Amino acid sequence: MLEFKNVNKIFGPVKALSDINFKVKKGEIVGLVGENGAGKSTLMKIIFGAYQADSGTILIDGGQTQFTSPRDAMQNGIGMVFQEQSLIGNLSVMENIFLGRESEFKRFGIINFKEMEAAAKYQLAKVGLEIDPRTQTFDLSFAQRQLVELAKVLTLEERTQNDLVILLDEPTSVLAEDEVKLLFKLVNQLRDRAAFIFVSHRLDEVISLSDRIYVLKDGEVVDEVDASIAKPENIQSAMVGREIDSGYYKQDERKDFDASSVILNVENVSVRSKLESINLKLRKSEVICLVGTEGSGREAILRSVFGMETPYEGYISYFEDRSLSIRSPFDAVSNGVGYMPRERKIEGIFSSMDVTENMTSSQLDNYNRFGFLQQNAERKLAREWVDRLSIKTPSIAADCGRLSGGNQQKVVLAKWRSSGAKLMMLDHPTRGLDIGAKQDVYGMIREMSAAGIGLIVVPDTFEEAIGLAHTIIVMKDGKIMNAFDTATQQVTPFDLVSAMT
């Protein structure tokens, strides 16, 4: 029903897509994988009408078309579920579902909210979500929003005679395992209503959900495999162009931690409506992974340790130093506690500031002489770490906002490493990174642990947790459900899921 023939897209000198041939059949679920920069997003944008192809033909049900805008694409039955969700918090669910198309409920220029509510109910039913369409969107959980997102796309059914093609862009990256299962179940139910294009970094998921998988590399389709016979390794090697060794998580570099020296001791800490009497110890060189659903309290722990949340009861002691109390990020940083937030673009890096400025942002006092900056020293540090972590940047004076996600993450890590953090907290450090970059991050985590730094990590997937952690702590509703010592026992994703539920 949707078909691409020899589609090309060029940005200035760069050939983003070359001779793409791509087909989606009715009721089919097609996987689309590739490393960052392989051209996935460009391809999606063309499908969704945000970009226009420079050459080649796009056919819908055999008829040639060219979408001029997302609106136009929607009219033709193309819908998109965005990675960073496209719901507006301060609008009600129904307003979000029909955003941009309120005119359908217009009576003499006035919106008829009763009708809209009914229509919204109907749409929500499709995705089996029973909530009041008038609720404000920011009151919903992440998973619920994802479903509303889908319901919003499904409104296309009523608007176009064409069959639907729905793009799912990284829909699972913000969902917990059980929520992912739910979503997949739903997608399978919807097969008869729409075809799906499923884009994800999580190959296991892609393989389990899709029928066929297209592998993109450097703007070309390098492989097209039948999911039933696909193997992660092969796909990965196709994507990366190299074999992924079994030691994906660098197990071999794993060091044991030194149980004697506790660098963080959280005793019976509670944060109103977020945490309930949490107890945990972090030791030198130890890597603790926190797993659980959104709002299960993982982030709250990181923020309390970093002095961003103030517990109403309990006590956190750092580096076995009772006298030391941390009440603000400032205290935390000046005492060697580092934090890599999840929202890299908002909280992680300073875009419009250069690499050097980003790296020293957490340690300006080290470069402070009578209030003046020692900029040569700064640059020296920057060069050193750019080499050390092989950060790909035109120069240390390049705008950090223009680096690739992986390199941005490296800059943030370099920032904390170089400022001599002894305790690091990483929130989704590999979020949205491609395999190459992920491995680099794993490598750095190992290295930090080897260097005696204790780490608390909120991983992207269970596999990550199992691969990286010495200790896995499973959380639910602000409480610690269970803790696994990966040295003494073989942990499987199943163990974790069952611990969560």
- Which of the residues 157 through 196 are near other proteins (CB under 8 A)? none
Of 175, 168, 165, which Cα lies nearest the Cα of 149?
168
Q: At its nearest, how many Å lie between other proteins and the CB of residue 404?
A: 18
Stretch that binds other proteins, among 9-17, 204-212, 357-365, 444-452 (CB under 8 A): 357-365
Range in contact with other proteins (rule: CB under 8 A) among 244-252, 279-287, 369-377, 462-470:
369-377
* Nearest-angstrom CA–CA distance, 43 and 98: 26
Q: Is the dihedral of CA 399, 405, 406, 408 positive or negative?
A: positive
- From residue 397 to residue 416, what is the string marking binding to other proteins with x (rule CB under 8 A)? ------------------x-
- Tell me whether residue 206 or residue 423 sits nearer to other proteins (CB atom): 423
Stretch that binds other proteins, among 262-270, 287-295, 366-374, 485-493 (CB under 8 A): 366-374
CA gap 153, 78 in Å, rounded: 9
Which region among 69-77, 173-181, 206-214, 235-243 touches other proteins (by CB under 8 A)? 69-77
Q: Distance between CA 90 and CA 143 in Å, rounded?
A: 18
Judge whether 497 and 296 are in contact, CB under 8 Å.
no
Nearer residue to other proteins within complex by CB, 153 or 175: 153
Q: Which stretch binds other proteins (CB under 8 A): 104-112, 204-212, 250-258, 468-476?
A: 104-112
Beta bridge partners of 196: 29, 166
Torsion over CA: 164, 202, 439, 298 (sign) = positive
The type of residue at 466 is I
The gap between the terminal CA atoms of the chain, to the nearest Å, is 41
CB of 48 to other proteins, least distance (A): 9
Looking at the Cβ atoms of 110 and 229, the one nearer to other proteins is: 110
Give the one residue of 346, 387, 489, 490 binding other proteins; rule: CB under 8 A.
Answer: 346
AA letter at 256:
D
CB 45 within 8 A of CB 51: yes
User: How does DSSP classify residue 367?
Assistant: G
Contact letters (x/-) for other proteins, 83-102, by CB under 8 A? ---xxxxxx---xx--xxxx
DSSP secondary structure letter of residue 77: T
Q: Which residues of this protein are in contact with other proteins, per CB under 8 A? A: 69-71, 74, 82, 86-91, 95-96, 99-103, 106, 109-111, 113, 152, 308, 328-330, 332-334, 339, 341, 343, 346-353, 357, 360-362, 364-365, 367-368, 371-373, 375, 415
